Amino acid sequence: MMNRHKLNQLHLSITAGTLAVSLLLGLSGETVSAASKEQPEIRAKNVIMLIPDGMSMDGTTLARWYNGGKALALDEMASGLVRTYSADAAIADSAPAGTAFATGFKSHTGYVGVLPDQNTMPGLPKLAAGDAKKPVANIVEAARLAGKSTGIIATSEIMHATPADFSAHYPDRSNYDALSEQQVYAGMDVVLGGGATYFTPAGRDDGEDLTKVIANSGYNIVKNTAELKAASSGKLWGMFADTAMANDMDRDPVKQPSIAEMTDKAIQVLSQNEEGFFLMVEGSKVDWAAHANDPIGIISEVNAFDRAVAKALAFAKQDQNTLVIAATDHGNGGITIGDVGTTGTYDEEPLSTFIAPLKKAKATGEGLEKKFNSNRSNIKAVMKQYYGITDLTKEEIATIKAAEKGKMNYAVGPMISKRAHIGWTTGGHTGGEVALYSYAPGGVQLTGVVENSDIAGYMASALQVNLADVSKQLFVPAKTAFAAKGATVKWDATDARNPVVVVTKGNDTLRLPVFKNTADWNGKTVKLKGNVIHNGVQTYVPQDAVDLFS
């Protein structure tokens, strides 16, 4: 385990070849840093982090065998293991796991970009009084303030937990209004994924038209593959689905680009900045397939993600100044090649036992739903044509017929798993270590067993940015800071769905809309270095908002 450090530092120090993570947040108390070994010093102009959400190691093995045993792009980058537990649980939710990657802090289930309520896992420190749910800086914010271009990609809704971890702060991953509004005002250069509905007035509780805000902010909004390919430079926002994008095996390539195509385009655009860039890419739906125990979905999404890795790795090798890290946030499903049916024959089963049934599938469980007619009277025909299954039981037919809309993968995934002897232990996440993949200039890798929270510090060190300083700059407790200036702070909830923090001192008035980076200073619009954040407890503002008052 690493040495103890003070929680009042968030700063990665690499000296004498040793990676030491210290986390400066202006907090009291101490933290136990995570397991790590001596690491070489890395400097990189660019960092690309790729996250195959919920990808367990048997999932990559399955995809490799499905591909005929050919190596994945990930394989040459394999370098260690990542511990995935959260602040108070052995098995992590995506929100705190992604928060650890993005900020260097483990958090609580559902919390996006903020500290937990408490640290209860062994080796973690007691959280200082008043620090619960406090927002902490992410690597995207640090890179942006350092003059680098930034971007996020996801195949889910772009405000889903993991992409939100790198672009927003709120202790509830389900509050899409709060998360998406912050993303729109976060100053990123490239945003590609799904979730278009949640930027429209009809798809939001606050009634705001964020699509219009995006367009007025200078983004080129693209909505299909051709438009993405035609985009050349500048700020780019891709909205390729109303909600989540389709699984790659089911995807219409005209309507939706692949994750590899999105990654390639993002790199093209971001790399035009001579100061460098940071890019986060999430293969979101590996996780969704694992929840459904759908091996075809796993194969579809692992392979699609791996092709995105290949794009990032090719760029890094040519550029020679780019760090690439790939790691999942947690395992999911407890997938195994082999199940209870192979208990007595596991070492005698040919590879075809596991792969041949899977090769018959022409759609994932999600994609299969569209193949049934309205009353699902064609179940036998569809399962024969698209899954090669001709021996459905009465119980299986009843299960398919009764499947709720959007849940067909949960119905058919276990059916093809049974025939391919693919085992599952759960429909939820798992707590084991996951594979770490890394590539850096000179072929240097991050190695050993590392904490998910160490990776943020490693990336920050490579980019030579200080997450601690950024936290101080962006998240100042509003009431205390403005009071020190002799100003009065009030909460204006005239429009309860769009509250405003109002600060007055003498003839000066500052109006700060929550979750935005724009403010009204004595009737004039000013742009702040970060968003105004309310975490349900108190409000935080960027330091430059405080500095407006003398």
Among candidate residues 79, 94, 438, 461, the one labeled active-site is: 94
Structure tokens at 375: 């009353």
Please check whether residue 303 is in contact with residue 248, taking contact to mean a CB–CB distance below 8 angstroms.
Answer: yes
Structure tokens at 443: 């072929």
Predicted pLDDT at 15 = 28
Helices 394-402 and 408-420 sit at what angle, rounded to 10 degrees?
150
Residue spans of the domains in the chain: they are 4-334+427-470, 336-423, 475-546
Predicted pLDDT at 14 = 30
Structure tokens at 385: 């044509």
Rounded to the nearest 5°, which phi and psi values hold at 151?
-160, 155
Q: Which fold has domain 4-334+427-470?
A: Alkaline Phosphatase, subunit A (3.40.720)
Structure tokens at 300: 């579809």
Arch. (CATH architecture) of 336-423: Orthogonal Bundle (1.10)
Nearest to 436 by CA among 18, 74, 79, 13: 79
CATH number of 475-546: 3.30.457.10
Which DSSP symbol is given to 536? S
Please check whether residue 151 is in contact with residue 192, taking contact to mean a CB–CB distance below 8 angstroms.
Answer: yes
Q: How many CB atoms lie within 10 A of CB 344?
A: 7
The model's pTM: 0.94
Cβ burial, residue 226 (10 Å; 0-12/13-18/19+): exposed
Sequential DSSP letters for 105-171: ----TT-BSB--S---STTPPPPPTT-TT-B---HHHHHHHTT-EEEEEEEEETTSHHHHHTT--BS
| Residues in Cβ contact with 277 at an 8 Å cutoff, skipping those fewer than 6 apart | 46, 47, 143, 148, 149, 150, 151, 189, 270, 271
Residue 94 annotated as catalytic: yes
- What are the CA-CA distances from residue 529 to residues 129, 133, 169, 544 (Å)? 27, 21, 15, 7
pLDDT 10s digit of each residue in the chain, 550 long?
333 222 222 233 332 233 333 333 333 222 333 344 566 788 999 999 999 999 999 999 999 999 999 999 999 999 999 999 999 999 999 999 999 999 999 999 999 999 999 999 999 999 999 999 999 999 999 999 999 999 999 999 999 999 999 999 999 999 999 999 999 999 999 999 999 999 999 999 999 999 999 999 999 999 999 999 999 878 999 999 999 999 999 999 999 999 999 999 999 999 999 999 999 999 999 999 999 999 999 999 999 999 999 999 999 999 999 999 999 999 999 999 999 999 999 999 999 999 999 999 999 999 999 999 999 999 999 999 999 999 999 999 999 999 999 999 999 999 999 999 999 999 999 999 999 999 999 888 899 999 999 999 999 999 999 999 999 999 999 999 999 999 999 999 999 899 999 999 999 999 999 999 999 999 999 999 999 999 999 999 999 999 999 8
Kindly compute the dihedral angle of the four CA atoms of residues 464, 469, 471, 477, in this order, to the nearest 10 degrees.
-170
Predicted pLDDT at 442 = 83
Strand stretches in 40-77, DSSP E = 46-52
Residue-wise pLDDT for 250-305, tens only, equals 999 999 999 999 999 999 999 999 999 999 999 999 999 999 999 999 999 999 99
